[in-house]
């Protein structure tokens, strides 16, 4: 049970009724309030049934240490990130377990710029959380709550202020989205009405009773693929439960995958960028298709450690045009410092409207790669380190990137082996031009021990 409580830079996740005791949410609230020192803090979350239970405890913790709270209700994660900037807030707390199944919930922590806490900030927060040295306030200094039920409308307006959507409004594009009864079920109608497209939303009740596992994978999106295959739509979209991740499906219902969805959006953004020093930042496990798309537009690509916080730091450091994670969505700094599926949908529709091509035609111009993911369980963290150094010496003559585990580069292929942050597990990502080549590399990696 204890190993289902996961705390990292990407947030806390745990299981309701088991590892996620409300006292944990309360102490996260107290620790985060002590860390930010002043309010307000924006609090919102996805549509999970446990939303109120966890949110009330988090808010109670914030109020107890004298922090004012703006409760924006059931919203997407990027909506919380946008409202931090809108209200000039000190930070944000998102009640979500992202793509995890229904029994999970969690808390993502955002800083005053509207991005994930960086490493230093997260360490400061953890110091308060672990030492339990909270700045409890007397009755006359505790925080107060205000509510804003229009945060999603504000978020959509911010997107419309930053991105010209006139081509979408003139396009007569027809859209199908699977919101899986998550945060997208609240946000998508607001966005798609504003974009003036015709649309249908599958699983459109924001009640947190997910119609399928919330991770937007091919296996989990059968209903969406079947509905698209019947015809009548130009593009399909699916999001995870807190709608930061986005995946695109073509007009025939073909699941193009999250890496290609990111490439499809980045391709458009780079095509419209006039700054000659274009830069793209993605994580190390992102497909080479992003490198290909960057080359096409004479942009330089940079790779960071896994995790949105690391990618965002990379984008800030490089002053990049765009970035993202292969397994999860677009970060367009012109609009905000986080993965935002609403921005992704807007960009994808602009690409479609202005190219006057089908999604399948655009995607077919990209080189094709096959990515496989695998993992091994080992008994201790020391064994993980030993395994990584064996990989390093086995591929001694190859170019490597060792920011996060070991990534070995081949011609048109790569192998990335990295430790899990939370468990004695080694994760293996492999990408090659064909499934056979990828499997060959996996067999080779598996034989090293």
Q: Are 34 and 134 in contact (CB under 8 A)?
A: yes
Under rule CB under 5 A, residue 325 binds Mg ion: no
Spell out, one character per residue from 158 to 187, where the chain touches Mg ion: x when CB under 5 A holds, - when not.
------------------------------
The verdict on whether 287 is a catalytic residue reads: no
For Mg ion, which is the closer residue by CB, 341 or 346? 341
Under rule CB under 5 A, residue 258 binds Mg ion: no
Among 34, 98, 115, 288, binds Mg ion (CB under 5 A): 98
- Of the ranges 96-104, 316-324, 357-365, 370-378, which one interacts with Mg ion (CB under 5 A)? 96-104
* Torsion of Cα atoms, 246 then 252 then 253 then 259, to 10°: -40
The greatest distance separating any two alpha carbons of the chain, rounded to the nearest whole angstrom, comes to 68
Among 148, 178, 234, 242, binds Mg ion (CB under 5 A): 242
Q: Which residues contact residue 197 at a Cβ distance below 8 angstroms, ignoring those fewer than 6 apart?
A: 168, 169, 171, 172, 173, 174, 175, 349
For Mg ion, which is the closer residue by CB, 183 or 299? 183
SS3 254: coil
Token pair of 447, please? 């034989």
Q: How far is the CB of 278 from Mg ion (least distance, A)?
A: 27
Q: Which residue is nearest to Mg ion (CB)?
A: 98
Q: How far is the CB of 429 from Mg ion (least distance, A)?
A: 19
Among 68, 227, 244, 325, binds Mg ion (CB under 5 A): 244
271 sits in which H/E element? helix 258-272
Q: Are 24 and 56 in contact (CB under 8 A)?
A: no
For Mg ion, which is the closer residue by CB, 27 or 215? 215
Q: Are 41 and 25 in contact (CB under 8 A)?
A: no
For Mg ion, which is the closer residue by CB, 98 or 203? 98
As a whole number of Å, the end-to-end CA separation of the chain is: 30
The residue written with tokens 């991740």 in the block is 245
Beta strands in 123-184 (DSSP E): 145-147, 174-178
For Mg ion, which is the closer residue by CB, 245 or 305? 245
Q: How many CA atoms lie within 13 A of 365 on its CB side?
A: 11
Q: How far is the CB of 312 from Mg ion (least distance, A)?
A: 14
Token pair of 203, please? 């699983």
Under rule CB under 5 A, residue 308 binds Mg ion: no
Q: How far is the CB of 185 from Mg ion (least distance, A)?
A: 14
Buried b (16+ CB within 10 A) or exposed e, 250-275: bbebbbbbbbbbbbbbbbbbbeebee
For Mg ion, which is the closer residue by CB, 13 or 245? 245
- Of the ranges 21-29, 56-64, 240-248, 409-417, which one interacts with Mg ion (CB under 5 A)? 240-248
Under rule CB under 5 A, residue 250 binds Mg ion: no
Q: How far is the CB of 30 from Mg ion (least distance, A)?
A: 25
- Of the ranges 79-87, 98-106, 202-210, 268-276, which one interacts with Mg ion (CB under 5 A)? 98-106
Q: How far is the CB of 98 from Mg ion (least distance, A)?
A: 3
Among 227, 234, 240, 404, binds Mg ion (CB under 5 A): 240
In degrees, rounded to 5, the angle at the alpha carbon of residue 423 between the alpha carbons of residues 420 and 426 is 45
Cα–Cα dist 278/361, whole Å: 25
Q: How far is the CB of 61 from Mg ion (least distance, A)?
A: 23
For Mg ion, which is the closer residue by CB, 34 or 47? 47
12 bridge partner residues = 7, 107
Q: How far is the CB of 210 from Mg ion (least distance, A)?
A: 13
Q: 194 in the Ramachandran plot: left (φ > 0), alpha (ψ -120 to 50) or beta?
A: alpha
SS3 249: strand
For Mg ion, which is the closer residue by CB, 244 or 313? 244
Q: How far is the CB of 267 from Mg ion (least distance, A)?
A: 23
The residue written with tokens 């007569």 in the block is 172
Under rule CB under 5 A, residue 215 binds Mg ion: no
Count of residues in the chain: 449
- Of the ranges 104-112, 241-249, 341-349, 426-434, which one interacts with Mg ion (CB under 5 A)? 241-249
Count of residues interacting with Mg ion (CB under 5 A):
5
Phi, psi of 92 (to 5 degrees): -145, 150
- Of the ranges 154-162, 183-191, 243-251, 418-426, which one interacts with Mg ion (CB under 5 A)? 243-251
Give, in order, the Cα–Cα distances in Å from 166 to each of 49, 160, 162, 248, 350: 38, 10, 12, 21, 9
For Mg ion, which is the closer residue by CB, 244 or 404? 244
Give, as ranges, the residues between 383 and 402 that touch Mg ion (CB under 5 A): none
Give, in order, the Cα–Cα distances in Å from 117 to each of 65, 125, 184, 242, 388: 20, 9, 24, 18, 28
The active-site residue, picked from 34, 64, 98, 341, is 98
The residues annotated as belonging to the active site are 98
Binding positions for Mg ion, rule: CB under 5 A: 98, 240, 242, 244-245
């Amino acid at each position: 049970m204890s190993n289902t409580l996961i705390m990292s830079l990407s947030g806390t996740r745990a299981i309701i009724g088991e590892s996620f005791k409300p006292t944990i949410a309360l102490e996260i609230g107290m620790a985060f309030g002590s860390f930010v020192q002043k309010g307000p803090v924006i609090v919102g979350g996805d549509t999970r049934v446990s939303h109120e239970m966890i949110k009330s405890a988090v808010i109670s913790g914030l109020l107890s240490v004298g922090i004012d709270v703006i409760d924006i209700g059931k919203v997407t994660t990027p909506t919380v990130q946008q409202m931090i900037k809108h209200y000039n807030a000190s930070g944000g707390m998102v009640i979500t377990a992202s793509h995890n199944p229904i029994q999970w919930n969690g808390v993502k922590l955002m800083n005053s710029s509207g991005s994930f806490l960086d490493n230093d900030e997260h360490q400061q927060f953890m110091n308060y959380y672990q030492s339990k040295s909270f700045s409890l306030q007397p009755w006359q200094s505790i925080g107060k709550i205000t509510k804003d039920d229009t945060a999603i409308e504000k978020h959509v307006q911010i997107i419309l202020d930053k991105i010209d959507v006139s081509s979408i409004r003139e396009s007569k594009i027809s859209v199908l989205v699977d919101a899986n009864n998550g945060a997208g079920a609240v946000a998508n109608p607001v966005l798609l009405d504003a974009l003036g497209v015709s649309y249908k939303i599958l699983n459109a009740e924001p009640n947190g009773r997910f119609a399928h596992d919330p991770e937007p994978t091919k296996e989990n999106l059968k209903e969406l693929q079947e509905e698209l295959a019947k015809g009548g739509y130009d593009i399909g979209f699916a999001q995870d439960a807190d709608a930061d991740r986005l995946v695109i499906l073509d007009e025939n219902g073909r699941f193009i995958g999250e890496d290609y969805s990111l490439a499809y959006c980045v391709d458009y953004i780079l095509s419209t960028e006039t700054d000659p020093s274009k830069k793209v930042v993605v994580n190390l496990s992102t497909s080479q298709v992003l490198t290909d798309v960057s080359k096409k537009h004479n942009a330089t690509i940079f790779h960071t450690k896994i995790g949105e916080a690391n990618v965002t730091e990379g984008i800030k450091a490089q002053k990049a045009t765009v970035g993202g994670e292969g397994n999860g969505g677009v970060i367009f700094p012109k609009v905000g410092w986080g993965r935002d599926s609403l921005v992704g949908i807007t960009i994808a529709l602009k690409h479609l409207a202005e190219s006057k091509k089908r999604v399948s035609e655009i995607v077919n111009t990209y080189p094709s790669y096959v990515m496989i993911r695998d993992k091994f369980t080992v008994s201790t963290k020391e064994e993980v380190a030993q395994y990584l150094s064996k990989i390093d010496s086995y591929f001694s003559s190859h170019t490597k990137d060792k920011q996060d585990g070991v990534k070995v580069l081949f011609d048109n292929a790569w192998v990335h082996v990295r430790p899990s942050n939370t468990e004695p597990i080694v994760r293996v990502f492999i990408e090659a031009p064909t499934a056979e080549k990828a499997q060959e590399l996996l067999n080779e990696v598996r034989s090293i021990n």
